[in-house]
């Protein structure tokens, strides 16, 4: 399953809920304000790393927020084409807002 998270983990429980219900073979794509969770050395970044899940971050949202120099190198940055590819590779998708 592909989980897409769109809200900041500092404003909603969407990412926490997503992590709670994700299974070991799931993937998470951080979009919109959720990309802030991929900033290196914050608690959410550490939680995502410890989850063992495959984590992706949408490049356009990172660039729009000026975070490209602050991201961890542990997550894969994808563009919109990568987002489409992930969507086709995963049988189901769940949006967390």
**30: closest CA among 76, 74, 90, 69?**
76
Q: Are strands 76-78 and 93-96 parallel, antiparallel or unpaired?
A: unpaired
List, in sequence order, every residue forming a beta bridge with 27; answer none if it has no partner.
2, 54
Q: How many domains does the chain have?
A: 1
Identify the bridge partners of residue 96 per DSSP, sorted by sequence position: 5
Q: The pTM is what?
A: 0.95
Question: What pLDDT shows up at residue 17?
Answer: 98
Domain with 78 in it: 2-96
Q: How many CB atoms lie within 10 A of CB 94?
A: 15
Please give the average pLDDT of every successive group of 10 residues along the chain, which has 97 residues.
98 98 97 98 95 98 97 97 97 97
**CATH code where residue 6 lies:** 3.40.1260.10
- Which H/E stretch holds residue 50? helix 43-51
């Amino acid at each position: 399953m592909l989980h897409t998270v769109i809200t900041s983990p500092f404003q909603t429980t969407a990412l926490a809920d997503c992590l709670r219900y994700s299974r070991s073979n799931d993937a998470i794509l951080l979009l919109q304000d959720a990309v802030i969770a991929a900033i290196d050395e914050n608690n959410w970044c550490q939680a995502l790393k410890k989850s063992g899940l495959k984590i992706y971050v949408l490049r356009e949202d990172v660039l729009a927020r000026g975070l490209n120099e602050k991201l961890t190198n542990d997550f894969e940055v994808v563009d919109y084409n990568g987002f489409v590819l992930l969507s086709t590779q995963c049988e189901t998708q769940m949006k967390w807002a």
